[in-house]
């Protein structure tokens, strides 16, 4: 396998192009903008090479099982033939041949050459940020000696699709010099249109139209003059009926606008937009070039996965890199992707949380269907908030039988996780308006759900939560999962706290909201009592260990390595009900360690549990290494922090997570791991914590990091932060907001508008 490597600070490249790696490189080198994801790959790639443009808000269920986003026809298809032979990266022997992504500007590029090495093709593609529906591609052909080539470019309307054909009708046509494809999706009946524009510089082509059953192209013969290049620009525009009532007309208009503006102008605007994004999200690290590039690369993928242009769509667990995981949100969204936005771009964060507000009806319906009250959010959530997680996610690869997992009905921590995120957003922004209009309803409805889900045990005189699935998905049907119980307690407490505050400060609003929700003060008193008496597994006084769930320590104690020897097939599912791990202490991912990422515990308790659980974790979930890095960094366990930081940041580049599990395809970009990159640095190495009244840091820079610089936006104040081994400086931009109280170690200061605070100390370990 050919591993991609960084070429300079902002470029990931693979040279030479490895055979049979089209799927991987397609994800790694993709370009995107939160509205669509255009997979990497060469212009002549078809479905066999996993070419695809995945468009948000096009959920459709083509095979009766998996609702997923559509891959739309590729309107940037292009093929070059020399002497009837296709120019292909797979045949390119030239040392220049390869594939790359400039992640500063989301620009995919590649070089392929003819078998004799004379004809060379460079292409360059970007999904525009200022014009979210447009993707551009430029192809340059050069030849030392000059040659005649056949060119075919236009719409390949038979895209790669994971679970069925998503278009029941498709019309291909030419209009006003542009090619268009108009489709209707199979199950949801959604109209989708793509339009393709083509311009060849210096040639008036007068091309012929070439029509196939699944494609419409322009064909022409071109002369490539010696030592000069031919430049071909292509523009694609895509709209669905969820964007506009007439997607065909919108795509035509957009492509025509783009063609008249031209590639260079559009690229300039696109780069300027990215410059603005990096001002918000960039983390600059001086002293470790590899980590620097990796952090930026992961941040890039977090950004292009996020539909920041709207407040009614989720961040998919594989972003828009492919259709795996149904283009849908899990708890990953709130706990892994969102925090970067909370502290750097509050409007984007509010948009993501508003999506959870808009999908409350789905969560209410799920709770009701399962016999509960309030909002039980779906484990896998698309546009509507209906539960997308099927009853049978995996199959038993040994027998071919379906496995009935209970991700959809027992993994209840999703609801308090969303409350936790609402509160984290509020603490950082003090956005009262959001809390009043949307956050309160989320918190109260989750409170109602939890109240109806928690049990009272008269024998033990405490509340308990039985029959759940915590973050470690190998152990289903467990009681009192520590993570779930702590999150539930927190969610009940903040819901009650907010209720009490509104009683004092905004009784009229509260009266209206409570009457709509059927919520009365006595019930809130019961939430308070429940939170107080809810069983929170405590550290054992001697070992300091917190039991992951009731009876976990009685399971067979074996480590993942030896356990793997029991596998009969590599792709076997390890978990409940009959996988090799379910009756053992081997866990799929951080669970008690995940608890430490969200709630404060004594350093000794964290250290003891880290020692215990870390070797027992298989890290089969891509969420796990990042959480281990964060917790280790925050507690000064620098060797582990470094190891897990690198491991988490390289999940996609080093391809550490197989794309198949228990017979289900789960490949693509691991967006949660990308999202946690920012958190590892800021919450981990800088030890940042934000409470309602102050901003705290406990910096511990890895050895070799000379400087760490980034920007935050806290309570409306933009703060530029610079950490060095012996100082931490915070500089606030001018703003109307009042000062922010800052605590660094034991030192306190007030950061006033347009001022700078410097703390000195030993901030390296
Ligand atoms: O949400 C995660 C889960 O924790 C582990 N399995 C994959 C999901 C999506 O990333």
* pLDDT tens column, 76-110: 999 999 999 999 999 987 888 999 999 999 999 99
Dist. CA 330 → ligand 1 center (Å)? 7
Residue 205 reports pLDDT greater than 60: no
What pLDDT was estimated at residue 764? Answer: 87
Atom 4 of ligand 1 has which residue's CA nearest to it?
A: 471
Ligand 1 within 6 A of CB of 334? no
Segment 18-43, tens digit of pLDDT: 888 999 999 999 999 999 999 999 99
Atom 5 of ligand 1 has which residue's CA nearest to it?
A: 621
Segment 619-663, tens digit of pLDDT: 999 999 999 999 999 999 999 999 999 999 999 999 999 898 888
Ligand 1 within 6 A of CB of 331? yes
Q: Are 365 and 376 in contact (CB under 8 A)?
A: no
What pLDDT was estimated at residue 739? Answer: 87
- Compute the half-sphere exposure of residue 411: CA atoms within 13 Å on the CB side of its CA: 22
Average pLDDT over residues 735-739: 79
Atom 8 of ligand 1 has which residue's CA nearest to it?
A: 330
Atom 7 of ligand 1 has which residue's CA nearest to it?
A: 621
Q: Are 598 and 487 in contact (CB under 8 A)?
A: yes
Residue 201 reports pLDDT greater than 90: no
- Compute the half-sphere exposure of residue 519: CA atoms within 13 Å on the CB side of its CA: 29
Ligand 1 within 6 A of CB of 417? no
Dist. CA 570 → ligand 1 center (Å)? 20
Ligand 1 within 6 A of CB of 465? no
Question: In which band, very low, low, confident or very high, does the pLDDT at 204 lie, cut at 50, 70 and 90?
Answer: low
Q: Are 283 and 295 in contact (CB under 8 A)?
A: yes
Residue 117 reports pLDDT greater than 80: no
pTM for the full predicted model: 0.98
Ligand 1 within 6 A of CB of 332? yes
Dist. CA 742 → ligand 1 center (Å)? 35
Dist. CA 133 → ligand 1 center (Å)? 29
Mapped onto helix, strand or coil, the DSSP state of residue 713 is strand
- Dist CA 443 CA 494 (whole Å): 8
What pLDDT was estimated at residue 687? Answer: 98
Q: Are 503 and 427 in contact (CB under 8 A)?
A: no
- Dist CA 67 CA 64 (whole Å): 8
- Dist CA 661 CA 667 (whole Å): 9
Burial of 602 (0-12, 13-18, 19+ CB in 10 A): exposed
Active site residues: 473
555 C-beta neighbours (distance < 10 Å), count:
18
Share of the chain above pLDDT 70, in %: 99
Which atom of ligand 1 is nearest the CA belonging to 330? 1
Q: For a pocket test of ligand 1, which of 623, 625, 664 has the largest count of ligand atoms closer than 8 A to its C-beta? A: 623
Average pLDDT over residues 171-182: 96
Dist. CA 292 → ligand 1 center (Å)? 26
Buried b or exposed e, range 667-692, using 16+ CB within 10 angstroms = bbbbbbbbbbbbbbbbbbbbbbebee
Q: Are 415 and 375 in contact (CB under 8 A)?
A: yes
Which atom of ligand 1 is nearest the CA belonging to 666? 7
Atom 9 of ligand 1 has which residue's CA nearest to it?
A: 317
- Dist CA 400 CA 38 (whole Å): 34
What secondary structure does DSSP assign to 253-322, as a single string? HHHHHHHHH-HHHHHHHHHHHHHHHHHHH-EEEES-HHHHHHHHHHHHHHHHH--TT-SS-PPPTTTTSS
Q: For a pocket test of ligand 1, which of 302, 315, 316, 317 has the largest count of ligand atoms closer than 8 A to its C-beta? A: 317
What backbone torsions phi and psi does residue 217 show, to the nearest 5 degrees? Answer: -135, 160
Dist. CA 333 → ligand 1 center (Å)? 10
Where on the phi/psi map is residue 695: left (φ > 0), alpha (ψ -120 to 50), or beta? beta
What pLDDT was estimated at residue 2? Answer: 80
Non-local CB neighbours of 246 within 8 Å, separated by 6+ positions = none
What pLDDT was estimated at residue 660? Answer: 87
747-751 and 740-744 beta bridge pairing = antiparallel
């Amino acid at each position: 396998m050919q591993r991609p490597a960084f070429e300079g600070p902002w470029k990931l490249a693979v040279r030479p192009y490895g055979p049979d790696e089209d799927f991987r490189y397609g994800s790694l080198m993709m370009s995107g903008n939160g509205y669509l994801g255009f997979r990497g790959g060469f212009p002549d790639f078809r479905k066999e090479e996993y070419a695809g443009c995945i468009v948000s808000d096009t959920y459709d269920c083509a095979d009766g099982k998996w609702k997923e986003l559509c891959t739309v026809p590729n309107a940037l298809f292009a093929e070059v033939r020399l002497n009837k032979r296709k120019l292909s990266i797979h045949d390119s022997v030239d040392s220049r041949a390869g594939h790359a992504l400039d992640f500063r500007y989301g620009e995919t590029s590649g070089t392929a050459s003819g078998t004799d090495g004379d004809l060379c093709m460079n292409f360059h593609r970007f999904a525009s940020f200022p014009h979210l529906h447009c993707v551009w591609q430029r192809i340059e052909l050069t030849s030392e000696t000059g040659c005649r080539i056949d060119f075919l470019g236009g719409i390949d309307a038979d895209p790669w699709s994971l679970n069925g054909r998503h278009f029941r009708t498709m019309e291909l046509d030419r209009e006003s010099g542009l090619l268009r494809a108009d489709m209707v999706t199979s199950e949801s009946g959604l109209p989708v249109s793509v339009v393709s524009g083509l311009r060849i510089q210096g040639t008036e082509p007068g091309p012929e139209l070439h029509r196939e059953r699944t494609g419409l192209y322009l064909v022409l013969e071109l002369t490539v003059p010696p030592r000069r290049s031919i430049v071909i620009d292509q523009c694609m525009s895509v709209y669905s009926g969820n964007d506009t009532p007439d997607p065909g007309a919108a795509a035509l208009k957009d492509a025509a606008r783009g063609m008249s503006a031209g590639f260079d102008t559009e690229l300039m605007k696109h780069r300027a937009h990215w410059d603005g994004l990096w001002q918000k999200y960039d983390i600059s690290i001086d002293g470790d070039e590899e980590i620097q590039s990796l952090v930026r690369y992961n941040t890039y993928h977090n950004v292009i996965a996020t539909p920041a242009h709207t407040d009614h769509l989720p961040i998919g667990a594989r972003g828009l890199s492919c259709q795996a995981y149904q283009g849908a949100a899990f708890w990953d969204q709130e706990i892994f992707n969102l925090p970067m936005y909370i502290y750097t771009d509050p409007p984007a964060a509010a948009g993501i949380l508003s999506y959870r507000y808009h999908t409350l009806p789905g969560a209410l319906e799920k709770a009701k269907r399962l016999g509960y009250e309030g909002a039980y959010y779906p484990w896998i959530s698309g546009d509507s908030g209906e539960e997308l997680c099927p009853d049978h996610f995996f199959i038993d690869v040994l027998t071919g039988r379906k496995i009935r997992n209970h991700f959809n009905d027992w993994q209840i921590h999703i609801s308090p996780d969303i409350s936790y995120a609402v509160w984290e957003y509020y603490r950082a922004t003090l956005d009262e308006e959001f809390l009043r209009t949307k956050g309160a309803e989320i918190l109260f409805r989750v409170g109602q759900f939890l109240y109806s889900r928690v049990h009272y045990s008269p024998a033990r005189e405490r509340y308990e939560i039985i029959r759940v699935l915590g973050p470690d998905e190998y152990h289903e049907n467990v009681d009192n999962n520590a993570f779930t119980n702590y999150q539930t307690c927190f969610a009940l407490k903040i819901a009650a706290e907010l209720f009490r505050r509104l009683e004092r400060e905004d009784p009229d609003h509260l009266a209206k909201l409570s009457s709509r929700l059927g919520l009365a003060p006595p019930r809130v008193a019961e939430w308070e009592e429940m939170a107080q008496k809810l069983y929170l597994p405590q550290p054992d006084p001697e070992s300091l260990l917190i039991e992951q769930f009731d009876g976990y320590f009685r399971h067979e104690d074996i480590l993942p390595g030896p356990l793997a020897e029991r596998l009969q097939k590599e792709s076997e599912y390890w978990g409940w009900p009959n996988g090799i791990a379910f009756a053992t202490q081997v866990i799929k991912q951080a669970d008690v360690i995940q608890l430490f990422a969200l709630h404060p515990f004594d350093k000794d308790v964290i250290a003891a549990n880290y020692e215990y659980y870390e070797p027992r974790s298989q890290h089969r979930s891509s969420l796990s290494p990042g959480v281990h890095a964060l917790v280790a960094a925050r507690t000064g366990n620098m060797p582990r922090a470094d190891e897990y930081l690198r491991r988490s940041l390289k999940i996609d580049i080093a391809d550490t997570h197989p794309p198949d599990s228990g017979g289900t395809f789960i490949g693509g970009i691991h967006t949660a791991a990308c999202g946690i990159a920012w958190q590892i640095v800021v919450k981990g190495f800088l030890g940042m914590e934000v409470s309602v009244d102050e901003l705290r840091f406990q910096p511990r820079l890895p050895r070799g990091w000379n400087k760490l610089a980034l920007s935050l936006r806290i309570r409306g104040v933009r703060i530029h932060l610079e950490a060095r081994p012996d100082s931490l400086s915070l500089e606030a931009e001018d703003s109307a907001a009042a000062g922010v109280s800052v605590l660094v170690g034991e030192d306190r200061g007030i950061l006033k508008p347009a001022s700078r605070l410097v703390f000195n100390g030993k901030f390296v370990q």
